[in-house]
Amino acid sequence: MPDDTRLDGTGAPAIELRGLVKEFRTGGETVVAVRGVDLAIEPGEFFSLLGPSGCGKTTMMRLVAGFEEPTAGEVLLRGRRVDGVPAERRDVNMVFQSYALFPHLSVFENVAFGLRRRRVPKPEIAARVGAMLETVDLAGRERRRPAELSGGQQQRVALARALVNRPRALLLDEPLGALDLQLRQAMQAELKRIQREVGITFVYVTHDQGEALAMSDRIAVMNAGRIEQLGTPREIYEHPATRFVAGFIGTSNLLGGEVAEVREGRAVIAYGPDGSDGRVLAPLRPGMPASLGDRLELTVRPEKIGIGRDRPDESFCGVRGTVSEVVYLGTSTNYTISTAAGDDVVVFTQNATSADGLAARGDTVWLSWDPRHSYAIRA
């Protein structure tokens, strides 16, 4: 990722939160929106706060921007505490889902608005606005009004207006939520391109896992005011740390059972008498001990699982079940298998080699996958 050279020489993160807490009083009760969050976001990083509505992600963004003050903890920008510093002096800009463009001003004047308030010389305004409109692919539309633009173009104007002031960080709160699916996907690519070109730290708030996975360098998955997991998109998708993350990011199967054996850092869960209905091996995370008889859950993604008629060899996880649903989707087929242990397992298969499918409803099948693709979670 670009390093905007930590221009102040501090070597500090672009944004740092230390023990951040935010409480609200409503209806005579105290609601805790953010619960002791510690977080460091690096210069030039595209960072996403991902979670369901009410998890605290927008409140965290507002605390960084200066629209709210923390109940406890600290917000630091480039190593400097900003407690009590008003929003307009924090050197961060924020883009909302409602673009908040001035309808009576042209595209040029909307983008130039902040520069004019700062009394930037006119020649510099013209140069900076022109360059920014080139970056967001709006050159030639300077004289248009917002009503004459598409939703995606209006979003680009809002981005240009926020970026032209050269903030240290740009905060984006569900900025694509008002766009239709096709335009939203196109704008995801545009946002990532723009962020790479300008090299500014982007902090992106979304409830859309696809957006976060597609654009982010790192993601913080939030739940009930806390960060459940922090990592790269691949780490979070491939190795969900909690039941919540496994269920929220993509589709994930959760299988449960008692530990029958522990060996070489893996818990073995057996199904049926002497494992006649299958056995799975789940790698244990560091600091997660397991003993004989402990109840564990494990996660495995649908695309990692194979379907066959024969029991797999002992080096693979294998579970027997009955096909309860088959959904043909053209390029792929989705299967739901009810296991002997009572779990429903979803399997995604590509229709690359057979148009007839691997199994039909009512068939008895064996599911198999590499143990590296399943991870133990404490039930």
Cα–Cα distance, 328 to 334 (Å, whole number): 7
| Reported confidence tier of residue 3, pLDDT bands at 50, 70, 90 | very low
Domain tally, the chain: 2
CATH code for the domain of 36: 3.40.50.300
User: Around Cβ 5, how many Cβ atoms within 10 Å?
Assistant: 10
Cα–Cα distance, 20 to 31 (Å, whole number): 15
Question: Is 6 domain-assigned?
Answer: no
Cα–Cα distance, 24 to 28 (Å, whole number): 10
Cα–Cα distance, 362 to 306 (Å, whole number): 17
Question: Is 233 domain-assigned?
Answer: yes
Whole-angstrom CA distances from 45 to 1, 109, 218, 219, 282 are 6, 29, 8, 11, 33
Question: Is 8 domain-assigned?
Answer: no
Question: Is 347 domain-assigned?
Answer: yes
pLDDT at 55 > cutoff 90: yes
And the tokens for 63?
């605390």
Cα–Cα distance, 186 to 223 (Å, whole number): 28
The percentage of residues in the chain with a pLDDT greater than 70, rounded to a whole number, is 96
Instruction: Work out the burial of residue 27: count CB atoms within 10 Å of its CB; fewer than 13 is exposed, 13-18 middle, 19 or more buried.
Output: exposed
Q: 201 with 332, same domain?
A: no
Find the mean pLDDT for residues 119-134.
Answer: 91
Question: Is 253 domain-assigned?
Answer: no
CA dihedral for 158, 162, 164, 169, sign (positive or negative): negative
Determine contact, residues 344/336, Cβ cutoff 8 Å.
yes
Whole-angstrom CA distances from 96 to 3, 52, 154, 204 are 26, 17, 12, 10
Among the candidates 244, 262, 286, a domain finishes at: 244
| Reported confidence tier of residue 354, pLDDT bands at 50, 70, 90 | low
The percentage of residues in the chain with a pLDDT greater than 90, rounded to a whole number, is 49
Which of 7, 81, 87, 71 lies closest to 37, judged by CA? 71
| Reported confidence tier of residue 88, pLDDT bands at 50, 70, 90 | confident
Helix (H) or strand (E) holding 157: helix 151-163
Cα–Cα distance, 202 to 22 (Å, whole number): 22
Whole-angstrom CA distances from 72 to 29, 57, 368 are 18, 17, 49
Find the mean pLDDT for residues 137-146.
Answer: 90
Question: Is 235 domain-assigned?
Answer: yes
For 31: left if phi > 0, alpha if psi spans -120 to 50, otherwise beta; the answer is beta
Q: What are phi and psi of 152, to 5 degrees?
A: -65, -40
CATH code for the domain of 323: 2.40.50.140
Q: 240 with 279, same domain?
A: no
Find the mean pLDDT for residues 67-71.
Answer: 94
> In which domain, by residue range, is 290 found?
273-378
Q: 38 with 165, same domain?
A: yes
Q: 210 with 323, same domain?
A: no
And the tokens for 241?
């740390």
Q: 181 with 278, same domain?
A: no
Find the mean pLDDT for residues 362-373.
Answer: 94
Q: 71 with 177, same domain?
A: yes
Q: What are phi and psi of 236, to 5 degrees?
A: -70, -40
Q: 221 with 358, same domain?
A: no
Question: Is 334 domain-assigned?
Answer: yes
Which of 221, 222, 262, 226 lies closest to 239, judged by CA? 221
Cα–Cα distance, 212 to 219 (Å, whole number): 7
Give residue 365's pLDDT. Answer: 95
Give residue 342's pLDDT. Answer: 87
Q: 229 with 277, same domain?
A: no
| Residue in the structure block whose two tokens are 């619960």 | 35
Cα–Cα distance, 121 to 45 (Å, whole number): 31
Q: 42 with 138, same domain?
A: yes
CA dihedral for 302, 303, 308, 311, sign (positive or negative): negative
Question: Is 154 domain-assigned?
Answer: yes
pLDDT at 368 > cutoff 90: yes
Task: Read off the DSSP letter of residue 68.
Answer: S
Q: 123 with 232, same domain?
A: yes
Q: 209 with 107, same domain?
A: yes
Q: What are phi and psi of 66, to 5 degrees?
A: 100, 10
Q: 225 with 282, same domain?
A: no
| Reported confidence tier of residue 378, pLDDT bands at 50, 70, 90 | low
Give residue 7's pLDDT. Answer: 42
